[in-house]
Structure 1
Amino acid sequence: MAMIREKRLPQLHLALPVPSRAAAQDLAVIARRTNPAATKASTPSALSSQFRLADFDKLAVLGRGNGGTVYKARHRETCALYALKVQHYGDPAAAAEADVLSRTASPFVVRCHSVLPADASGDVALLLELVDGGSLDSIRSRRGAFAEAALAEVAAQALSGLAYLHARRIVHLDIKPANLLVSTAGDVKVADFGIAKVLARAGDQCTSYAGTSAYMSPERFDPEAHGGHYDPYAADVWSLGVTLLELFMGRYPLLPAGQQPTWPALMCAVCFGEPPVLPDGAASPELRGFIAACLQKDYRSRASVAELLAHPFVAGREVAASKRALRKLVADASSSL
């Protein structure tokens, strides 16, 4: 049955189609909105002149994805450090992400300082704050499973980011360890809004199935069983639950250790399998209850972001100790480089 459904579903990792001329024009409008220096002498950041790609030295590659590369970059005049997300001109993800980030100003969401205009190669770039600890995925790969205290802090801050976004009718649709960044100060920020959506109304549902299949909720993975649409807010909660469970277990949690995450295997695990049960002694009752509230198969039974923020695993944590545990984890991961 999974294989039959697979043929009817769109491929989840194919590049998106090249946008129309209007989409490219939208990116130019956003660039003017987020980079006033392009039209007048004022900017939202410390830089005093018009931002151009040529003004930055690329120091290191921080990550690569479909359609672009993220660099650690230094502004030549001020020596200020940034994350420079260079994307191919015409990629609709660039316009989508720039549009979302131009609407946000939260300590729990990565900040976009400006959209840089196209250079001679036709590339455009988002000038983002540099989150110096890297992604939670990179920390997990270097340091293994997260302790509960650090995980509770990650949960609290990621949920605060989602609460901020959802209150503005922004749904992320690709929450995963690689898209949550953390600073050496222990600040967690939601990042990578390439497939995020801004909904017209708070109660709107989604029909978009782009994203990372391993973190998709059952209703996103198997749209035919759910009428072809889904509640995107609940979908973000499922993805966060899988993310936190992965950080706690130190590996992707919905498949047996060592099994390749093929499309059919993920389909069976997400849509028809049961989430792993954390045994007594391996996790606190609070963590087990929190994960169970996130990973309800029926999205109508899934906890909301507000309910999860009030859950004992988050609301009952000792904040100072949790923050210290997260900072130590980040420091240990940095020292292992």
Structure 2
Amino acid sequence: MAAANDRRSRGMGLSLNLPSRQSPRPPPVPQPLPLPPPSLDESRYSRGSNNPGSNPGSNPGGNLGGNPVSRGLSGGVYHGHHGGAQLPQNRDVVLADLEKIGVLGAGSGGKVYKVRHRWTGKEYALKIIQEKHELAVRRQIMREMDILRSSKSQHLVECYGVFDRGGEISFVLEYMDGGTLADVLKYHKKIGERYLAEVTKQVLLGLLYLHKHKIVHRDIKPSNLLLNRKQEVKIADFGVSTVLANTLAQCNSFVGTCAYMSPERFDPDGNGGEYGYAADIWSLGLTLLECAIGRFPCLKPGEKPDWPTLMYAICWGEPPSPPADASPEFQNFIINCLQKNSNSRPSAEMLLNHPFVRRYEGQPGVISELLQGLVL
């Protein structure tokens, strides 16, 4: 209404104070986020160590401008261990060196672009959160993304830089050419157990790394599990969607995130107000079951996934059951993951030795086969 009155005021001949042509207002300068130095050390990661416990404390083709925020792992952003062109050591990826190729996806108040480094030709994914959030939220997002920047696991998507441009936050991420598990599911409609076993193994290795470093991901779902044609499956997003979701007034605007929440996360008051590593196990089980049956398992076909319906189904309904024609190993795996009582769910380390995961070990090329014919 104020804007409309202002437009009417201009039409009535009222004068406005305009900035001088000789001194235009400069554009906002990208400000680096003060990330702490890398802290997670892969050398401390051991598959055989003890269980950590259950509770832890749009312009495609255009160029981008910005200042480097943080250095990559081992003192440089990229050191060639993923193949492709190599950036000089101690050189950061800066936004001004990236050009947009196209859009990879959208959601959580922003978009993800495929970008190319103009000097090396290396491709990255650029995630831009376009909504302007208050400083406290941006700081929380920064803390979450620092997990990516400082982690040293081949099962986590790498982060090469974080930028704040007047409240618009940008992340330069590792580009995964196979897209997300959600893309794969949309293409195949259903995913067979042989493929799911390999996906499961790699996701569990990523979760094991996080849990050993006392980190709960909080947002495991098909769109946060990325694949590439080098046979890799990696975890992405580290709670950014959850942080954003908690700042929104309308719950229905983030049903994609809350749909995969465990009962103790969906209804904390009814579950002691706490959740731990087991919340990620529930989300993984729900994700795998969705891939196996081709639809979200907690709701009936055609049922509207609004907040009350989801809450009732997840908190008070019976856990969804695996299909009757699934193998006994897969059925048992899903049943274990989808225990309503979080203390009854196995840890990531225990599930790595589950018969479903071990049954299909040693089959090369499974991920490439799964991605065959998929065009993003």
Higher-Rg member (1/2): 2
1:69 pairs with one of 77, 88, 111: 111
Q: Distance in 1 between matches of 2:332 and 2:152?
A: 32
Q: Following superposition of structure 1 onto structure 2, how do residues 128-277 of structure 1 map, counting pairs within 5 Å?
A: 128-195=173-240, 212-230=257-275, 232-277=276-321
Counterpart in the other structure of 2:341: 298
Q: Secondary structure of the residue that 2:190 maps to in structure 1?
A: coil
Q: Following superposition of structure 1 onto structure 2, how do residues 270-289 of structure 1 map, counting pairs within 5 Å?
A: 270-280=314-324, 282-289=325-332
Q: Secondary structure of the residue that 2:150 maps to in structure 1?
A: coil
Matched letter for residue 61 of structure 1: V
Q: Following superposition of structure 1 onto structure 2, how do residues 17-166 of structure 1 map, counting pairs within 5 Å?
A: 27-30=33-36, 34-35=70-71, 43-45=76-78, 46-48=86-88, 49-88=91-130, 90=135, 91-92=138-139, 94-115=141-162, 117-119=163-165, 123-166=168-211
CA contact (8 A) 2:33 2:69 kept: no
Q: Distance in 1 between matches of 2:218 and 2:255?
A: 8
Q: Deviations over 1:97-119 (max 9, x none)?
A: 3311122111110011233x445
Gaps of 5+ in 2: 1-29, 38-67, 79-85, 243-253
Question: Does the C-alpha gap of structure 1 residues 251 and 303 become closer, same or farther in structure 2, counting only changes over 3 Å?
Answer: same
What is the aligned length? 291
Shift of 1:123: 3.5
Q: 4+ residue stretches of structure 1 with deviation over 4 A? A: 30-33
Question: Does the C-alpha gap of structure 1 residues 258 and 55 become closer, same or farther in structure 2, counting only changes over 3 Å?
Answer: same
Percentage of matched positions with identical amino acids: 45
Structure-2-length-normalised TM-score: 0.71
Counterpart in the other structure of 2:49: none
Structure-1-length-normalised TM-score: 0.79
Shift of 1:279: 4.4
Shift of 1:223: 1.5
Q: Distance in 2 between matches of 1:93 and 1:86?
A: 16
Question: Does the C-alpha gap of structure 1 residues 33 and 279 become closer, same or farther in structure 2, counting only changes over 3 Å?
Answer: closer
Q: Distance in 2 between matches of 1:279 and 1:252?
A: 13
Q: Secondary structure of the residue that 2:77 maps to in structure 1?
A: coil
Q: Distance in 2 between matches of 1:100 and 1:33?
A: 15
Question: Does the C-alpha gap of structure 1 residues 144 and 51 become closer, same or farther in structure 2, counting only changes over 3 Å?
Answer: same
Of structures 1 and 2, the one scoring higher in RCO (CA 8 A, sep 6+) is 1
Matched letter for residue 372 of structure 2: A
Matched letter for residue 82 of structure 1: Y
Q: Distance in 1 between matches of 2:129 and 2:312?
A: 34
Shift of 1:84: 1.2
Question: Does the C-alpha gap of structure 1 residues 36 and 109 become closer, same or farther in structure 2, counting only changes over 3 Å?
Answer: closer
Q: Distance in 2 between matches of 1:36 and 1:319?
A: 33
CA contact (8 A) 1:149 1:326 kept: no
Q: Deviations over 1:61-91 (max 9, x none)?
A: 1122324321100011111111112235753
